Structure 1
Amino acid sequence: MSAPPAPSRPPSRPRLGVFKFASCDGCQLTLLDCEDELLGLADEWDIAHFPEASSAVASGPYDLSLVEGSVSTPEHLQRVRRVRAASRYLVTIGACATAGGVQALRNYAGIEEYLATVYARPDYIQSLAASTPIAAHVPVDFELRGCPIDRGQLLEVITAFLAGRKPAIPNHSVCFSCKRRGNVCVTVAHGVPCLGPVTHAGCGALCPTYGRGCYGCFGPADTTNLPALVPLMHRDGMDDADIARYLHTFNVTAFTAVEEEGPG
């Protein structure tokens, strides 16, 4: 009698890594907040490296790496290159990773002044002169914007890479989302300064829905005509310095690039 056939090995699952650089952890928490959907992802992906969720981490290679945070220290610069080398696909998540984040505001002043103000022993601190997005240092396969990112968009990106297709992330402005929600335009109706016309959709027009102007959390829309918006913001009581502060709060390097390039 012949021996029974050996049981077939289940096909290996693609491996997911989640990495943090200079950030507040909010975008990683968005993944944890997926809750029930996260259980489904765990069935399809081997979550090999995610220190925010588990201390049981494994080395690469990774089929998909999600990277949160900006490059702000010499150690970051070395580590992001190692992550890129170990990753088949690398996706940056959130304003810090895609545009330097709030911490990139320090790029407009000398780092020595900040170090002396914040730290009792600044000589112990190793920091780069500027806080920069991941794409300034390594190739990036997709950028998911937001501060923080949108939960539904994150699930779409992970699912798309699992299926081998392009993520279906909208490229229109927040104004489009306002129209879909039936919002009255806060700028037209109330004279409230709003970055919605030049900001990438993704938040569901959260601030305008509650009567506030958009703050640009999701960075510049793919087609951005900033010079056409500036006169409206002047009309609503903002000077050039106010507008610069408004633009540079969350997505410092992204909006700076739009200003330098002119109308999209």
Structure 2
Amino acid sequence: MDAATPHRPRLGVFKFASCDGCQLTLLDCEDELLPLAGEMDIAYFLEASSAPGPGPYDLSLVEGSVTTAEDAERIRRIRAESRTLVTIGACATAGGVQALRNFADVDEFREIVYARPEYIETLATSTPIAAHVPVDFELQGCPIDRGQLLEVITAFLAGRRPDIPRHSVCFACKRRGTPCVTVAHGTPCLGPVTHAGCGALCPAYGRGCYGCFGPSGSPNMPAMIPLLRSDGMSDEDVLRILHTFNVAKFAAIEPEREEP
């Protein structure tokens, strides 16, 4: 590069155990992606290019959880090559739905899912990226919100911290004028303990939030679970609604259940 040519930040986008949905959110930015591509060199993004470039990277976006020994080694290499590392989505920030294995027998899961489980090598747990390397910022969601992703990238280019709300989905319902489905209809809803980011999409269509953006900043689970029960959910139903995309994060803050 010529000495007079300004440095263009290099972007790397990496996938671990996941469905690719968060990477597709970046591709879905469409018109906004073109100006960003003019500000950055997209050096590594296998979802979009068959010509990946080597590090170092100024900004790395990492999707997916660590589920194999090879994953654990690879994320350490990526971290070493990245000036800023941002995890995107429930898998990368919480272990994803595959973290259900953390609370069960992984060998039994492997026998059920795969026709030839003897060829599958996996760790007993599915863990977020932050369990293995330092992470500069976490962007929650399953999948992540397009606007929030653009804010993260724009903030990086501007040299500031992303302005991502830390409040709950209930605030989003109030902002869009959506009646509370719990108060109005007795519908079970995780909105009070779920991180905002979806725009309160489900309550806007009359169904309760099911926690796809994970726990909010200070979730009051001891109050939430009795409310879910009073709205007609059994203990099994409560366990099921908390054990989805962000099972590891919700499980970490669940109050101890009383013995029957």
The TM-score by the shorter chain falls in which range? Answer: over 0.9
- 1:258 lines up with 2:253 in the alignment: yes
Cα distance between partner residues in 2 of 1:9 and 1:122: 56
- 1:77 lines up with 2:69 in the alignment: no
Structure 2-normalised TM-score? 0.95
Contact 2:91/2:97 (<8 A) preserved:
yes
Cα shift readout 1:220-255 (whole Å, capped 9, x = no counterpart):
000211111111111111122211211121101111
Q: 2:183 aligns with which of 180, 185, 188?
A: 188
Structure 2 residue aligned with 1:98: 93
Cα displacement (A) at 1:8: 6.6
Structure 1 residue aligned with 2:116: 121
- 1:67 lines up with 2:59 in the alignment: no
Cα distance between partner residues in 2 of 1:227 and 1:81: 37
- The percent of aligned pairs where both chains have the same amino acid is 75
Count how many residue pairs are aligned between Structure 1 and Structure 2: 255
Cα distance between partner residues in 1 of 2:239 and 2:77: 35
- 1:236 lines up with 2:231 in the alignment: yes
Structure 1 residue aligned with 2:125: 130
SS at the partner of 2:254?
A: helix
* Greater displacement, 231-240 / 85-94: 231-240
Cα distance between partner residues in 2 of 1:53 and 1:260: 43
Cα distance between partner residues in 2 of 1:219 and 1:116: 29
Aligned partner of 1:20: which letter? K
* Greater displacement, 133-142 / 112-121: 112-121
Cα distance between partner residues in 2 of 1:207 and 1:260: 26
Match runs of 1:128-167 below 5 Å = 128-167=123-162
Structure 2 residue aligned with 1:18: 13
Cα displacement (A) at 1:14: 0.6
Cα shift readout 1:180-216 (whole Å, capped 9, x = no counterpart):
0111110011010000000000000000000000000
Cα displacement (A) at 1:260: 5.8
Structure 1 residue aligned with 2:48: 53
Cα shift readout 1:80-117 (whole Å, capped 9, x = no counterpart):
11111110110000000000111111222111111112
SS at the partner of 1:192?
A: coil
Cα distance between partner residues in 2 of 1:90 and 1:69: 13
Structure 2 unpaired stretches of 5+ = none
Change (3 A) 1:13 1:106: same
Cα distance between partner residues in 1 of 2:229 and 2:104: 26
Aligned partner of 1:144: which letter? L
Aligned partner of 2:228: which letter? M
Cα distance between partner residues in 2 of 1:212 and 1:141: 34
Structure 1-normalised TM-score? 0.94
Cα displacement (A) at 1:75: 1.1
Structure 2 residue aligned with 1:4: none
Cα distance between partner residues in 2 of 1:240 and 1:49: 45
SS at the partner of 1:12?
A: coil
- 1:35 lines up with 2:30 in the alignment: yes
SS at the partner of 1:149?
A: coil
Structure 1 unpaired stretches of 5+ = 1-6
Instruction: Give me the CA root mean square deviation.
Output: 1.3
* Greater displacement, 252-261 / 169-178: 252-261
Cα distance between partner residues in 2 of 1:208 and 1:149: 18
Cα distance between partner residues in 1 of 2:4 and 2:136: 31
Cα distance between partner residues in 2 of 1:174 and 1:98: 18
Cα displacement (A) at 1:9: 3.6
Contact 2:222/2:255 (<8 A) preserved:
no
Structure 1 residue aligned with 2:206: 211
